[in-house]
Structure 1
């Protein structure tokens, strides 16, 4: 058997140029399948780790997925806000341990601005329940001294080159128009959060009072003509928030989540809804599941084409190798030995392609990880072959072995006389 394996390896090496193209094809299909599978898992893990320890998210009545997207992932806009009095009433409900107010709608050079309170730094959790940490500086103050202070995420600091003490200007909305800049009320960066791999890294955090201060001379999304309130004048005004976008809620006991959710849904002062983050994430994956399946199906088709290419190359070479196979038969190799020889060649090509594909995937993941983190905020984990990855490799390997049996069966049918006969 060892001699046959050596013969198969040397035979494949003798036709290395043609077979190398098949190896590359199988390697690319392996890269595509493993890459999509790993990307799917990493994206899900990043989404799931964006918020932990929060039992309910409260907001105006809308879709559960929409509320999750704009309150946690800063994607999209809220259809409506909830009043501050309603937020306080939810905070005072029985069983509620803590709440984190979230006020959205402004930006800074493409990064979302989040108005919140010091409870954000005390109770917000990500990953496996990790608390937010400061890489530099501190949290904003809770009095008048903290009105125009800002805490920025790691991506904001890195991409814009900010450090504690930097002065920044916020923009109304997405910052598409320079006229919307709140240039008369600049903020001072007092802290930079350590990297989390979540939307926190791409956010600028200010106090609710600061969010209220920059909108004193605004109404319905536009500045009031003839009315200008300076930063010094804003500090003399009542800066208590009137409305917020959402409220993150932590309960004393997880078992009370459904009763609290029902109590919020029956709130009489205004229509509210409370969603469970995990359930909303499952709904989100149901929405994007069709796209995942389409990508996997496309990868599967590429793999099929690669395997068919292997069959085509070996079959095409059979006619040129008739005399070689006939000589093997003449020196004593039986039909099964010849069939096994061609099967081993195809298996070697398949396994080599799989090995190259796995190595290429690991290398691509290592090279793409810094770019994905800095550009997309997506944490790509180092390639580790789990059950799903081994399953795909097993399917590809089995398909390659089955495909290799086709040329072997064809060689088995070639007679000795057919190989020695002169062809004209």
Structure 2
């Protein structure tokens, strides 16, 4: 009996048990889609997180942890870092190797979103993804006091439009303190979605940040003292400190030399961090979570393949006469063994292909939404080398799962099949 004949017999036998095997095939398909989907999500999340800031060579702040500086200054996460003096920031901006620099000042919030004090260079130089620049979807960038530009998620969640009046509050997004109610801002621009922390921020000028705190001291308003908005321009609104500074170099080859120079500079203690290196360190810290996700998806696949083995084993007693008839017409024991192996391998292969199709459909339907909302880009192309390796692992495991029922069928004798108990 040749291989083609065995394949036809396996297909006919599977069709007779199509309902039970169909559920098993579906479970294998879902397991394969989950296994590949978790890997794509992991890779997409890592790429999205790493590409939230591109085109920036250094992030400079006061002396401290590079990871904390990047998390707070760029991603608005974690505890606040010490501030960098404005004098040091100006010195760095004037360095011969520096092409551009963008100041970042944090410390205020608006209804759960971080407020970022910066300048218009932020909208020109900040890049994300594969060198993508920020775009203003509606309105324009701020150009005077008490004007704000909001991210796409801020506009969507709070229902804001242009000319919206907003009031900022002192503190973090998680713990907002007293409001700057006497100095409201007007929304003059809404940024296009990026899938990065840019979407979850409100942007104002550094001078505006100083203006709303001009009658504050020690993080609280001075009792009995208030400066009206129309009079704040009479004061010096130059910032005294900032949170961090984004730096782009004229030549990227100078990055190590400038980093060492800033880290070792006399005077104010500074930390100059390379975003790519710091993000790699961060992902190494999160590696245990990645492995846990991969382990869970592999466990789901193993359970599905165990279900395949259980279904084939459970059907052996009902198929004893079928197998005995095959033996009686000349099928050898090894051909019965091959029949069961082909059946298990076929179901596993069909499940893998169906799972891959389901994953591609999910990417096609939800890929753009994930990119715009969470910054997770899912590859919609053909599987890569690692994904093919995982599919092959599922196929091999399915083949191994079919060995036990195939071995039992091999051991069933002709007499046992023709003389049911």
Task: Give TM-score, length-normalised by structure 2.
Answer: 0.94
Q: CA deviation at 1:392?
A: 1.1
Match 2:265 to one of 267, 270, 280: 267
Quote the residue 2:290 is aligned against: 292
Whether 1:410 aligns to 2:412 is: no
8 Å Cα contact 1:171/1:182 also seen in 2: yes
8 Å Cα contact 1:197/1:379 also seen in 2: no
Q: Distance in 2 between matches of 1:86 and 1:71?
A: 17
Secondary structure of the residue aligned to 1:235 is: helix
Distance 1:318 1:181, change over 3 A: same
8 Å Cα contact 1:201/1:377 also seen in 2: no
Quote the residue 1:169 is aligned against: 167
Q: Distance in 2 between matches of 1:179 and 1:300?
A: 46
Q: CA deviation at 1:177?
A: 6.6
Secondary structure of the residue aligned to 2:95 is: coil
Quote the residue 2:48 is aligned against: 46
Which segment is superposed worse, 372-381 or 212-221? 372-381
Match 1:183 to one of 181, 184, 203: 181
Q: Distance in 2 between matches of 1:333 and 1:213?
A: 91
Q: Distance in 1 between matches of 2:420 and 2:82?
A: 86
Quote the residue 1:353 is aligned against: 351
Distance 1:175 1:130, change over 3 A: closer
8 Å Cα contact 1:86/1:269 also seen in 2: no
Whether 1:344 aligns to 2:342 is: yes
Q: Distance in 2 between matches of 1:277 and 1:176?
A: 25
Q: Distance in 2 between matches of 1:277 and 1:230?
A: 41
Q: Distance in 1 between matches of 2:362 and 2:94?
A: 51
Q: CA deviation at 1:85?
A: 0.7
Q: Distance in 2 between matches of 1:382 and 1:138?
A: 34
Q: Distance in 1 between matches of 2:116 and 2:275?
A: 19
Q: CA deviation at 1:174?
A: 2.9
Q: CA deviation at 1:400?
A: 0.9
The answer for unaligned runs of 5 or more in structure 2 is: none
8 Å Cα contact 1:155/1:374 also seen in 2: no
Match 2:279 to one of 263, 269, 281: 281
Match 1:14 to one of 12, 16, 30: 16
The 5-angstrom pairing of residues 205-244 of structure 1 reads: 205-244=203-242
Quote the residue 2:110 is aligned against: 108
Distance 1:39 1:175, change over 3 A: closer
The answer for unaligned runs of 5 or more in structure 1 is: none
- Note the alpha carbon deviations across 1:131-163, whole angstroms, 9 max, x for none: 22221221111xxxx111111122222222323
Secondary structure of the residue aligned to 1:180 is: strand
8 Å Cα contact 1:8/1:344 also seen in 2: yes
Whether 1:71 aligns to 2:66 is: no
Q: CA deviation at 1:24?
A: 2.8
Quote the residue 1:251 is aligned against: 249
Q: Distance in 2 between matches of 1:109 and 1:373?
A: 24
Quote the residue 1:154 is aligned against: 152
Secondary structure of the residue aligned to 2:300 is: helix
8 Å Cα contact 2:105/2:244 also seen in 1: yes
Q: Distance in 1 between matches of 2:219 and 2:374?
A: 29
8 Å Cα contact 2:107/2:171 also seen in 1: yes
Secondary structure of the residue aligned to 1:103 is: strand
Q: CA deviation at 1:373?
A: 5.0
Distance 1:177 1:57, change over 3 A: closer
Distance 1:28 1:287, change over 3 A: same
Distance 1:380 1:212, change over 3 A: farther
The 5-angstrom pairing of residues 380-395 of structure 1 reads: 380-382=378-380, 384-395=382-393
Q: Distance in 1 between matches of 2:108 and 2:185?
A: 13
The 5-angstrom pairing of residues 17-28 of structure 1 reads: 17-28=19-30
Secondary structure of the residue aligned to 1:196 is: coil
Q: CA deviation at 1:25?
A: 2.4
Secondary structure of the residue aligned to 2:204 is: strand
8 Å Cα contact 2:101/2:247 also seen in 1: yes
8 Å Cα contact 1:77/1:105 also seen in 2: no
Quote the residue 2:37 is aligned against: 35
Q: CA deviation at 1:370?
A: 5.9
Quote the residue 1:119 is aligned against: 121
Q: Distance in 1 between matches of 2:391 and 2:169?
A: 50
Instruction: Please give the root-mean-square deviation of Cα atoms over the aligned residues, in Å.
Output: 2.0
Q: Distance in 2 between matches of 1:378 and 1:160?
A: 23
Q: Distance in 2 between matches of 1:179 and 1:131?
A: 33
Task: Give TM-score, length-normalised by structure 1.
Answer: 0.93
8 Å Cα contact 1:322/1:419 also seen in 2: yes
